[in-house]
Structure 1
């Protein structure tokens, strides 16, 4: 499925976005560190859920940016190549992780079911976890962490087609994105205030695609606006806009009412990230320099494997060291997760990314 661009149309990103954005890797590192520290036992002060929201936002921004770049470069969007790239990016590392997870479950005498494995490979682990539940007795299921991958893949089953159909009419595309953002918020409000949290399964809103995919859409909206509207970049780089975004983010974190947290919070955080992103990543300043530092950039690069393996380490710790002190747990979790993720990145991710790149380039 391909889309020809209209004559004379151009959609260059600002010059700051042409090369690989090191600060973007750094921001991705912050998101995964929030998740790890929360799971390591600091969940009462570290917002792990925010880490996932940031991860979703970045994903939407990057994918949209890459698709627009392809559209500008060659005049069409190849949906087939998009899915092939996704396969080589995600599946090899996921497959090895699943083998490790099943080994751990076997050691812990957890009788996993084939349907659980199917939920991971066919990307319905989020709804499976909500409405059925993974096998968990001796330890939390290592497979349950794949719920967020399911949310992303559900989004990317639809988004490339929507992109190809509407990118030639950007105003209509942006209008649809805004409509969907409002629709997601309205759906969450209905679930929370209409049906009531007491009548919903645990994590129904937190893990379900129909209530979380708008976090990806906020990143998509920003990428599209930066492409088509140069004044948006100039507006968003203003310090006052950044400060307002920070205030919105703090409000989303400090308001503890459960109804608010399950309905308005994700939209508020999406708007906050929208307002903060340019100063965090695209403008040369103290924050972007910190995010561009080598340690954070590298953690950002290995963040996919780190996300998977930190949960496996968490499961092992729950099994073998439940009574260890919190500082020791944090140290063990951080060092072990980083080591496993580094090995996965070097031996699996990088190699298959090269293979996938060559394969895509060979396609007509």
Structure 2
């Protein structure tokens, strides 16, 4: 099928945490025979911070973030078999949704792909006339980055016809073990941009433990932390391009995952860094959230911390040998069960069912 996908950015991970999700999933869907065009607005300096070249498995169209640019790329939706509007495009999201779905051909499958379902649901739940809520009855399918049963139930209560989580996963051709790099050496590393609903949790699970473990080395990657006061044993790298993620994950004793508050409260929403770290064979410590065991086994494949005190205790007891064993077990699990090839087949089946239903019972 010809898929027109309107998202934040495929080419740049700069202020764009969904980049590796898009890349892994859409590359795997292209391998199933789909013809993919990805439309991304030229905003936030992302084009100056590209970390991949335009791939051979998708056509990428960068458009001006203005009415004329949007009109030009929205018109191309009319030639697609599947039209996808992702959440968090970053430019006129509600207008993009309205325009591309209006331009879609009558027989095309219309999909809203939510890469931040807890935040989206919190935004639209209390606003009966929200543009996304108005659009849901005319859409064939809602796919989500995570959230499990709670997200499915919430979307259905708002009028969505079909809802399926397509979780993050591993692209084994992109994330894999490499030799440690002294530049990324640390006892505990965390990679994540500074965001309002993440900062307090980073304080609890990362900066707080660093403050009480002054002899241990902590490494912080991600944009936005430049103005934040940090303990002296925390080294800040700034933005870390995806081409350096393997070295980042393979050079520390352990790598930390800290979910944003909304993701943690909803559960069943493992971040991309969980699978990137596991794919690289890193020892992963994660904050606690419901559904972890669906992806990695606590104590055998991942270490789970309820708070900063747990992080300190885990790190104090962790040996290189145990870290290595945990990382190897996690890598084996994700290779067997949680690769983007698995997710692509799930998404492909959802789209095929939606196409059949649209032919039988037209939506809208």
Quick check: TM above 0.5?
A: no
* Structure number having the greater strand percentage: 2
TM-score (norm 1): 0.29
